[in-house]
């Protein structure tokens, strides 16, 4: 959920500032881009060098850098961030934030931020319970800021109770969970197929195609980044998902892919069939490697079960089904016929006649045709960008 997110981490003067090192490390490990803004007092508890090294970015403390004569632009930092996280948030900084005071860079960035702001208080028990602190926390929540409640435990004073900053792992989990809830496809189960199928001739040889699986994997990753619960059924492919939440099921043949689809489609809201499934498979598979003897070798083939058509027949009123059509002639005509014949809600057409489209390429050029025959033509794009276009349409269909 934090992959690619831009996070401004505010660190205040508190003994809990030592936890900021682990917090930065976990954010970076989760794929976030981190800029740290510290108060001057925070630098007494943890060095800027530590946080700079872990975040791989300079740490911001002052409005003005006397060494190079540069101004640290708080407005740019506030606009840059997708998330602002203030942890630890001291009683002093919470009071300034609640009352709009702006005597340091951190408070200036906070007042400039357009993104969600999370704050994790850290202070002693009596301070945390003081009506002034309680009022400031309530006021900040009233502004739309998101409280990460302090935990209970042993405090620096030796007292035991509330005021202890939430642990870094808890904060990361909360951020990821909160982001997921706000995503367009949060909680929707989506099935994606990708790659080729290999139809065995003998233990050594097979009939296959040139599909790499890149398109299907890009779609699965994008859906997962939008909060969907994704199951990816992949034929033989060297591709790897970038989203750890994607559940991958490996298959080899068209028959295995059919079985996996029938097992998983009933529980899915939507299925995107981007796999290049073989249309024919050998009638018999030789138990031993076929030796090269005659000048000619005839192999009897039979039709494989049409997976897309089968899913279309099983589709329930609450389900959606999207197919792909890779054509070389009469592209729109064939794609439209496939859309109607197989009971699809949307078909993604690409043509091998378009330079840069098709198998193995890192780019693709698609046309979307929906069940009302409304057509949307896209320019040549990277498969990652194409996946975003497809998933934006998926979100539109699901949320209609």
Residues involved in catalysis: 209
Q: Taking the alpha carbons of 269, 275, 276, 281 in that order, is the dihedral positive or negative?
A: negative
Q: Phi and psi (nearest 5°) for 319?
A: -100, 155
Query: In this structure, what is the dihedral angle of CA atoms 50, 61, 6, 113, given to the nearest 10 degrees?
Result: 160
Gap between the Cα atoms of 181 and 160, Å rounded: 34
Cα(14)–Cα(118) distance, rounded to whole angstroms?
Answer: 17
Q: Is 6 exposed, middle or buried (0-12, 13-18, 19+ CB in 10 A)?
A: middle
For residue 117, CA distances in Å to 77, 104, 125, 128, 145 come to 13, 17, 24, 20, 5
342 carries a ligand binding annotation: yes
Q: How far apart are the first and last CA of the chain?
A: 24
Query: Is-contact 21 54, C-beta < 8 A?
Result: yes
Kindly list the distances between the CA atom of residue 132 and the CA atoms of 122, 128, 357, in Å, as whole numbers in the listed order: 15, 9, 63
Strand partners, 6: 33
Q: Residue 146: beta bridge partners?
A: 118
State how far the Cα of 250 lies from the Cα of 237, in Å rounded to an integer.
9
Q: Among candidates 273, 169, 257, 262, which has minimal Cα distance to 220?
A: 273
Q: How far is CA 120 from the centre of its chain?
A: 25
Q: What φ, ψ does residue 315 adopt, rounded to 5°?
A: -65, 130
The set of residues, in sequence order, having a beta carbon less than 8 Å from that of 303 and lying 6+ positions away, is 279, 280
- Give the annotated binding-site residues: 279, 289, 324, 338, 342
Residue list for the binding site for CTP: 279, 289, 324, 338, 342
């Amino acid at each position: 959920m934090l992959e690619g997110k831009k996070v401004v981490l505010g660190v205040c003067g508190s003994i809990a500032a030592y936890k900021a090192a682990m917090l930065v490390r976990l954010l970076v490990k989760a794929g976030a881009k981190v800029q740290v803004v510290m108060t001057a007092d925070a630098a007494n508890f943890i060095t800027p060098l530590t946080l700079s090294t872990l975040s791989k970015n300079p740490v911001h403390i002052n409005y003005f850098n006397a060494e190079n004569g540069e101004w640290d632009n708080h407005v740019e930092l506030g606009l840059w961030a997708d998330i602002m996280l203030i942890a630890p948030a001291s009683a002093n900084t919470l009071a300034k934030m609640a009352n709009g005071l702006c005597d340091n860079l951190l408070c200036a960035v906070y007042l400039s931020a357009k993104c969600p702001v999370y704050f994790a208080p850290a202070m002693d028990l009596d301070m945390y319970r003081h009506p002034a602190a309680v009022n400031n926390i309530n006021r900040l929540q009233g502004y739309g800021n998101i409280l990460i409640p302090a935990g209970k435990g042993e405090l620096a004073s030796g007292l035991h109770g509330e005021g202890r900053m939430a642990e870094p792992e808890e904060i990361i989990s909360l951020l990821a969970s909160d982001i997921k809830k706000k995503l367009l496809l949060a909680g929707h189960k989506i099935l994606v197929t990708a790659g080729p199928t290999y139809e065995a001739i003998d233990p050594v040889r097979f009939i296959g195609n040139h599909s790499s699986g890149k398109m299907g994997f890009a779609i699965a990753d994008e859906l997962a980044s939008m909060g969907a619960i994704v199951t990816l059924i992949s034929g033989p492919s060297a591709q790897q998902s970038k989203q750890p939440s994607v559940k991958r099921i490996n298959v080899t043949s068209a028959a295995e892919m059919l079985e996996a689809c029938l097992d998983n489609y009933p529980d899915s809201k939507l299925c995107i069939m981007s796999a290049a499934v073989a249309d024919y498979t050998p009638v018999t598979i030789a138990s031993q490697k076929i030796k090269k003897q005659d000048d000619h070798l005839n192999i009897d083939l039979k039709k494989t079960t049409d997976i897309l058509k089968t899913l279309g027949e099983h589709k329930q009123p609450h389900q959606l089904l999207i197919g792909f059509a890779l054509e070389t002639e009469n592209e729109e005509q064939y794609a439209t016929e496939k859309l109607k014949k197989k009971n699809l809600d949307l078909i993604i057409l690409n043509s091998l006649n378009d330079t840069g489209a098709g198998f193995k390429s890192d780019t693709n050029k698609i046309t979307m045709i929906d069940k009302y025959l409304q057509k949307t033509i896209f320019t040549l794009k990277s498969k990652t960008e194409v996946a975003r276009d497809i998933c934006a349409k998926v979100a539109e269909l699901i949320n209609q």
